[in-house]
Amino acid sequence: MKRKLQKIYWIGVICTLIMATIAVFMLIAFRIIDKNDSLISILETASGWTQAVDGDLNAHARSIAGVSPRLRVTFLMDSGFVLADSEGEAAEMSNHLDRPEIQAAINGEIGRSFRLSGTQSVFMLYAAKRVSDNLILRLSFPIEIITNALIVYTIGIIMLLVILIIFQKRAVLHITGAVATQIDDVRRTLEGEIETPKAVFSEFQPALDNISYQAKRLNSDLKEVRRTLSLRSDFVANASHELRSPLTSVMGFAEMLDEGLADTPEEKKMCIQTIRSECSRMLNVVEDVLLLSRAEREKDLIFKSVSVYEVANEIAQALSPQAAEKNIDLRVEGTLILYSVEKDIWEILYNLTSNGIRYGKKGGWVKICLKKDEIIVADNGIGIEEMHLPHLFEQFYRVDQSRDPSVRGTGLGLSIVRTLSQRNGGSVSVKSEYGKGSEFSVLFSNKQSPD
């Protein structure tokens, strides 16, 4: 990133410098063209005067030079030998034959040249013309602006480069620092440390908002996954625990039989009966576990209009022996048609009603009341203490078992009721008064309705 920014920065700088250079050189070129034109016109006029001159060439050269400040006039022979000069001593001057403007003048043309003068270290413009046999007139003019411009330009460029290097270091450091902070903010957002990172550059804001939204979703999904994993491991631990006690009991009684510790037929019968009842308890746990895991995984559910009244009557019929055993009056009141999964409704009603009977008092009652969008299963049984109510629907939660040791459930029934109610668009709740009875309600929303 740092390198890329530096590259872009320097490309920008180089382009600017090239453009500045072109501008400077164009200005110089215009200046040269302008001076060149005026030098040629002076040359033309002066060559006219010269043809008539007969006397002192040096004086004549100086008088031509007086036409324009800084103009230098030189008279030379075809051999390049300097005859007179407006500024210097002709005798001391070197032969000028190799100068391009002199060469052109010898050939009868108007010679022009522009170069750095070896003697004066300044850029000079030259023009030369033959004025008579063996006499060449040469004019020269210093273009100091070029030298000055080049000096100023070079110093300017050096200063500019120094400033740009300092600025570039700071700017690049600032940008890379800001981007690093931004990346760190994004990391913290993804890890859930901060909610919304503030954009260092406003252009980043939409992307950051999106990242923050996705991070929130991911974090909440992650929490859900963690919660599910922890529930799973609790579930496995609880299920193993639930199976261990009956298994230990089965093992104990089987050993008793094996080692001949149960002598009498009554003792043997007691051992076998215990083994059977423990096995049926394990079977109940396994069936409930399977039902619950199926309920959590099943996808292709068949929803249809279900007559809850008919299902409730079937259940009342099926549970009538248990109800009769405790002399419990089991009734169904009201009607209800629900768009739902029939076997789920069956399971919900079965669990709630069988609980009502199991935890009911002898000679008491259990009512299945069907109302608009609601199933209520109420009883006047032993009731539940308030402190247990928030946990009743948790897997394997059982209220103090010392209440009635003959009633041994799995602690999964209400959790199955909750899971099945939810997938049918219902929510389950409980009201209870300890010693007086309980009321379980499943309220269905209309969401599952076909229309």
Binding site for ligand ADP (CB under 6 A): 351, 355-356, 359, 379, 381-384, 392, 397-399, 409-415, 438
Indicate the length of the chain as a whole number.
451
Q: How far apart are CA 243 and CA 251, in angstroms?
A: 12
Task: Outline where 262-358 has alpha helix (H).
Answer: 265-297, 308-318, 320-325, 342-358
CB of residue 251 to ligand ADP, shortest distance in Å: 24
| For ligand ADP, the closer CB: 172 or 412 | 412
Burial environment of residue 91 by CB neighbours within 10 A (0 to 12, 13 to 18, 19 or more):
exposed
C-alpha to C-alpha distance for 86 and 74, rounded to whole angstroms: 6
Considering beta carbons, is residue 105 or 399 the nearer one to ligand ADP?
399
User: Which residue shows structure tokens 């169904």?
Assistant: 332
Q: How far is the CB of 188 from ligand ADP (least distance, A)?
A: 43
Count CB atoms within 10 A of the CB of residue 212.
18
Tell me the residue type at 173.
L
In the 8-state DSSP scheme, what is residue 402?
Answer: G
Q: In whole angstroms, how close is the CB of 438 to ligand ADP at the nearest point?
A: 4
Closer Cβ to ligand ADP, 79 or 320, answer by number: 320
CB of 298 to ligand ADP, least distance (A): 20
| Minimum CB distance to ligand ADP, residue 441 (Å) | 12
Report the residue number, 47 or 432, with the smaller CB distance to ligand ADP: 432
If the CB atoms of residues 86 and 351 are measured against ligand ADP, the closer one turns out to be 351
- In angstroms, the CA 232 to CA 224 distance is 12
Instruction: Compute CA distances 175 → 12, 137, 199, 399, whole Å.
Output: 17, 65, 13, 63
CB 416 within 8 A of CB 284: no
- Smaller CB distance to ligand ADP: residue 340 or 355? 355
> In whole angstroms, how close is the CB of 203 to ligand ADP at the nearest point?
57
Host H or E run for residue 137: strand 135-142
Residue nearest to ligand ADP (CB): 409
Q: Which is nearer to ligand ADP, 69 or 405 (CB)?
A: 405
Quick one: 140 or 355, whose CB is closer to ligand ADP? 355
325 with 318: CB under 8 angstroms? no
**Which CB atom, from 381 or from 426, has the smaller least distance to ligand ADP?**
381
> What are the CA-CA distances from residue 307 to residues 300, 315, 370, 375 (Å)?
21, 13, 10, 12
DSSP lists the bridge partners of residue 426 as 444
Name the β-bridge partners of 375. Answer: 370, 442
Rounded-to-integer distance, Cα 339 and Cα 317, Å: 23
Q: From the CB of residue 348, how many other CB atoms can be counted at a distance below 10 Å?
A: 28
Q: Provide the minimum distance between the beta carbon of 285 and ligand ADP in the complex, in angstroms, as a whole number.
A: 9
In this structure, are residues 139 and 113 in contact, taking their beta carbons and an 8 Å threshold? no
Distance CA 222, CA 213 (A): 14
**Encoded amino acid at 318, one letter:** A
- In the bound complex, what is the minimum distance in angstroms from residue 352's beta carbon to ligand ADP? 7
Shortest approach of ligand ADP to residue 311 CB, angstroms? 18
Which CB atom, from 200 or from 382, has the smaller least distance to ligand ADP? 382
Closer residue to ligand ADP in complex, CB, 106/332:
332
Tokens encoding 38: 């005026």
Six token digits for residue 231: 């529930």
Q: How far is the CB of 382 from ligand ADP (least distance, A)?
A: 5
Q: Which is nearer to ligand ADP, 197 or 411 (CB)?
A: 411
Quote the least distance from Cβ 383 to ligand ADP, whole Å.
6
User: Do 179 and 1 form a contact (C-beta atoms < 8 A)?
Assistant: yes
Shortest distance in whole angstroms from residue 260 CB to ligand ADP: 36
The enclosing H or E element of 303 equals: none
